[in-house]
Amino acid sequence: MSFSQFTPDDYRLIDESYRALMEVAATRCKDETEVETVRKAFEFANQAHKNVRRRSGEPYMLHPLAVAHIVVTEIGLGCKSICAALLHDVVEDTNYSVEDIRNLFGDKIASLVDGLTKIKTVLDNEDRKGAASTESLQAENFKRILLTLNDDVRVVLIKLADRLHNCRTIEFMPEHKRDKILSETMFIFIPLAHRLGLYSVKSEMENIWLRYKEPEEYQRITERIKGNVANRDKDIDSFIAPIENALQAAGYRFTIKKRIKTPYSIWYKMRTKHVPFEQIYDLYAVRIIFEPSDNSIQTERGQAYLIFSTITHLYRENLTRRRDWISQPKSNGYEALHCTLMSHAGFWVEVQIRSKRMDDIAEKGIAAHWAYKNDGYISENDSEMDKWLAEVQEILLSNDVSALELLDIIHKDLVSSEIVVFTPKGEQRAIRNGATALDFAYLIHTEIGNRAIAAKVNMRLVPLSHALKAGDQVEIITAENAHPKMEWVSFLQTRYARNRVIEYFRKDFDAIAADGERIFGERIRLMGLKSSRELIRKFLDYSQLHDPEELWFRIGLGLLGPEEFKAIIDEKDLSTGERRKNILRADSAVQYKIAECCHPIPGDPVIGFSTAENLVIVHKKSCPIAESLASKYGNRMVVPQWVAVQKEYPIRISLKGIDRVGLLSDISSFISQTLGINMRKLQLSTDGELFEGFIELLVRDKKNLERMVEGLSKIDGVSDVVRTDI
């Protein structure tokens, strides 16, 4: 921030932004008294931030005004939240206190501002601390944010609005700071927005993330979207017309909206499915939003299914793409019917059917969910959000969870999906995707989990470690004299089940801790290290523990296995010998090591993490491991300068196409003779007339890679050529 006298243009910008806010705020305020409170909050904040500027040079007051605008338009919150958004930086950045806010605006607005101030204080302090004191600070920051879910979820919603506006103006940040903010955003804030049902907030943050993390990919996909929209716009209108006519004839009140997949969602699908842009066949979507004839859930649902029946008689449906989130809504409250239909122009279109209420909840998330709940419009599925918040509260208030563990637990919870399985009597139970039969046993009752010996899934006998799938019918087999086993913690997927097993074994604490201390010593020796007070301290710091005995107990139980040991050792850079391979010496002061998780090459957007002994680990900016590290060790992020190093880097290219005689020879010849590149591995398999496989080879930089992809794409029979992870 900087200080300089405002100009007439500055005052004009503030006034325009304020008027735009009041126009939308008036629709959320209950009466003139609330409108006056918002006006009073603006005037107070405006005076407090007078002559203060952001990095961009514009008046600082434009930021809280923009946050307040997001709070209204994107999230749908009311007067108190609008005021808190306007005031959210006053206590931290000026001489005013929370008590001053309380005296002027009352307890609730002061409480919201206090929660936001505490979050901001931790974030700012984090950037000022050194590495030794920061390793848990980011995790503590996110814990503080999530704790406000138990107090008042509006604090988190306003914080999401604040983060969204910071992302919108992130171009003015230095690169290392920008990467840190975007990594935090992807690791926690985007999944949090998704879980709270804020689709538009989530989508916008994802697209900003892609624009800066993978700028070339973002530009390429955006240009392809523009070209497709220009070519397909009339075809989409032609697709909609018969639907519109049929629904009007049936007497429905409705609107139809067109939309196209976002650049991020396309990029993500291309990356995870290993397909080119041309194979994103659900690129287009049409949304039907209808007004039910009365406010009963039965009528609303019935009309949704009737509309579905009407449109699926008009076009051929892809049955594998049908999704019914009305009979079983998502855990974030999302309800809709989805189907994918073949247009007469020969391309697939996804159709989403929602009532007005469903659409409000889909766009405004938890705020709309509770608004309808307070109006008495409740379905039997409306408790899903409340149940998730209760589970988060249990995790947050647990004393046996370190801040770093908490961050990983919450991240996993936020990004995980749920499946529905059935009891032997046909009762539905929602459980985390990937959960085992034993997780299900503990979900039913602790004693059933403790006494479980096996399970039957769809009438077939399976071990307790069996991973469940959607629609499975599960029966747990128990024995009176059975009891938990320590190896269970290695495959349990739900925190509740794992905690019940840990509690059971606390009675054997001393023996398990002694075994854990022995295991620690053996693993450290096998990793080429010596046990020391400093090394133990680093394990304690990572686990956020103070007592070595508790550390030994966790190791003895299997909670810190070989993979966790490797992660701790690698992140702390205590390794020697073979772990130092792939090091690039850029100068006499700093060494660079290529991360083995994502194998970046010169030309890729990259990010570095500094460790001990002047070593920087280089990751691709979009690497999920880098995102996780940045969310915990943001102070270690650096902008690496390693592109000038002359070296060959390993990459993998995946291929698909139509098999023919001489294809393998043409591919090999192009790579070795035309480009002069040595292949490390070539693997192709055929299925009838089709082939797919991959090539592993060494390249000097991204341009070298792009020439290869372009050339391979031109070989007769080759249809798909994409870079994939090794």
Per run of 10 residues, the mean pLDDT along the chain (length 726 residues) is 84 96 91 94 95 91 96 89 94 90 94 82 49 47 64 82 94 87 86 82 95 93 86 89 96 92 91 81 88 84 94 91 82 84 90 92 72 51 57 60 57 66 84 91 93 94 92 92 91 87 91 93 86 83 78 88 75 40 54 84 86 79 83 76 69 89 87 78 86 88 87 89 82
Task: Encode burial over 486-520: b for 16+ CB neighbours within 10 A, e otherwise.
Answer: bebbebbbbbebbbbbbebbeeeeeebbebbbebb
Instruction: State the Cα angle at 327 between 322 and 332, rounded to 5°.
Output: 90
Paired sense of beta strands 253-260 and 316-317, if any: unpaired
Q: Tell me which residue of 267, 130, 133, 278 sits closest to 208, measured CA to CA.
A: 267
The token duo for 24 is 């939308």
The token duo for 180 is 């840190």
The pTM of this model reads 0.71
Architecture category of domain 388-486 in CATH? Roll (3.10)
What does R_g of the chain's alpha carbons equal in angstroms?
Answer: 28
For the chain, what are the domain ranges? 2-172, 215-374, 388-486, 487-560, 581-638, 649-724
Q: Tell me which residue of 576, 268, 535, 520 sits closest to 415, measured CA to CA.
A: 268
Q: Tell me which residue of 30, 413, 384 sits closest to 187, measured CA to CA.
A: 413
Q: What is the pLDDT of residue 129?
A: 44
Q: How big is the chain, counted in residues? A: 726
Q: What is the pLDDT of residue 386?
A: 62
Task: Give me the amino acid identity at 532.
Answer: S
CA distance 573 to 542: 13
CA distance 530 to 532: 6
CA distance 672 to 674: 6
CA distance 107 to 101: 8
CA distance 444 to 423: 9
Helix (H) or strand (E) holding 20: helix 8-25
CA distance 400 to 575: 29
For domain 215-374, give the CATH number: 3.30.460.10
Q: How many CB atoms sit inside 10 A of residue 387's CB?
A: 11
Q: What is the pLDDT of residue 575?
A: 34
Q: Which of 10, 15, 43, 92 is catalytic?
A: 92
Beta-sheet strand order (sheet of 637-638): 583-585, 591-594, 615-620, 606-610, 637-638
Q: What is the pLDDT of residue 408?
A: 61
Annotated active-site residue 93? The verdict is yes
Query: What CA–CA distances, in Å, run from 190 to 155, 167, 252, 411?
Result: 16, 12, 36, 10
Answer whether 599's CB lies under 8 Å from 651's CB: yes
Q: Which of 93, 282, 550, 696 is catalytic?
A: 93
Q: May I ask the CATH class of domain 2-172? A: mainly alpha
Query: What CA–CA distances, in Å, run from 474 to 460, 471, 498?
Result: 9, 9, 19
Q: Tell me which residue of 408, 457, 450, 451 sits closest to 436, measured CA to CA.
A: 457
Question: Any long-range contacts for 48-54 (C-beta under 8 Å, 24+ apart)?
Answer: 48/90, 48/93, 48/94, 48/96, 49/89, 49/90, 49/93, 49/94, 50/6, 51/3, 51/4, 51/5, 51/6, 52/1, 52/2, 52/3, 52/93, 53/1, 53/2, 53/3, 53/4, 54/1, 54/169, 54/172
For domain 649-724, give the CATH number: 3.30.70.260
Q: Roughly how many angstroms between the first and final C-alpha of the chain, as a whole number?
A: 44
Q: Tell me which residue of 68, 73, 66, 53 sits closest to 10, measured CA to CA.
A: 53
